[in-house]
C-alpha cells in the first residue's frame, strides 16, 4: 500500500524531469525493472532492426541506445538518490558535475518513433538536412544502424 501511494506521488509530481542514466553492460532491462520495483518511472527505448543473418533478413529488437535508459523523477526527491544505487545502473549522465536533464520533447519524439524499423542493409547517403534546435539530430538517430553510434549522437545532442 505504501509503495502504491509513493508511486502515485512520484508519477504525479509536477517537478519530475527526464534524466539520462548510464547502465552496466547489457543491463538496461534489469535496471529498468529494478527502478520500477522502487516506484521510479523509466523509459527503455527499443527498436526493430533488420539485419542480414545467413543471407536472410531478420528483424531483431534491440536497445535504441545501448547502455542508456531514461528516468522520470523529481531531482529533489529522496528517490533521485536511489537511482545511482540501483542494480544495473552506473549512474546519471552528467555534464559539469550535474545530472543532465533531457527535454520532454526529445523523450516524446523517441516514444513517437519507437515503432520505426532500421534496416542495416540499406546504404544511406551522407546527405541529411535537419534544421537546428535541440532535436536537430533526432532524424540522424533513427537512420543510424549502429547502436553505439546512436548513443553517441544522443549524448552530443544533450551536451
d(CA 65, CA 139): 14
Note whether residue 7 is domain-resident.
no
Give the model's pLDDT for residue 123: 54
* CATH code (residue 51): 3.30.70.940
Domain interval for residue 63: 17-121+132-158
**What would the mean pLDDT of 119-144 be, rounded to a whole number?**
52
Q: Domain for residue 100, yes or no?
A: yes
Q: Could you tell me if residue 5 is inside a domain?
A: no
pLDDT in tens, 44-97: 998 888 888 888 888 888 898 999 999 999 999 888 999 999 999 999 999 888
12 belongs to a structural domain: no
CA 3 from centre of chain:
25
Provide the domain count of the chain. Answer: 1
Amino acid at each position: 500500500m505504501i509503495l502504491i501511494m509513493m508511486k502515485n506521488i512520484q508519477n504525479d509530481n509536477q517537478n519530475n524531469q527526464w534524466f539520462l542514466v548510464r547502465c552496466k553492460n547489457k543491463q538496461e532491462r534489469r535496471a529498468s525493472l529494478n527502478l520500477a520495483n522502487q516506484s521510479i518511472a523509466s523509459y527503455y527505448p527499443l527498436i526493430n532492426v533488420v539485419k542480414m543473418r545467413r543471407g536472410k533478413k531478420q528483424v531483431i529488437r534491440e536497445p535504441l541506445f545501448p547502455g542508456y535508459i531514461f528516468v522520470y523523477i523529481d531531482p529533489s526527491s529522496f528517490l533521485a538518490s536511489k537511482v545511482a544505487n540501483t542494480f544495473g545502473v552506473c549512474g546519471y549522465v552528467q555534464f559539469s558535475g550535474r545530472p543532465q536533464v533531457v527535454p520532454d520533447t526529445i523523450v516524446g519524439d523517441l516514444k513517437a518513433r519507437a515503432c520505426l524499423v532500421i534496416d542495416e542493409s540499406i546504404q544511406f547517403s551522407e546527405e541529411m538536412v535537419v534544421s537546428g534546435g535541440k532535436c536537430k539530430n533526432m532524424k540522424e538517430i533513427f537512420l543510424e544502424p549502429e547502436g553505439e553510434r546512436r548513443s553517441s549522437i544522443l549524448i552530443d545532442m544533450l551536451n
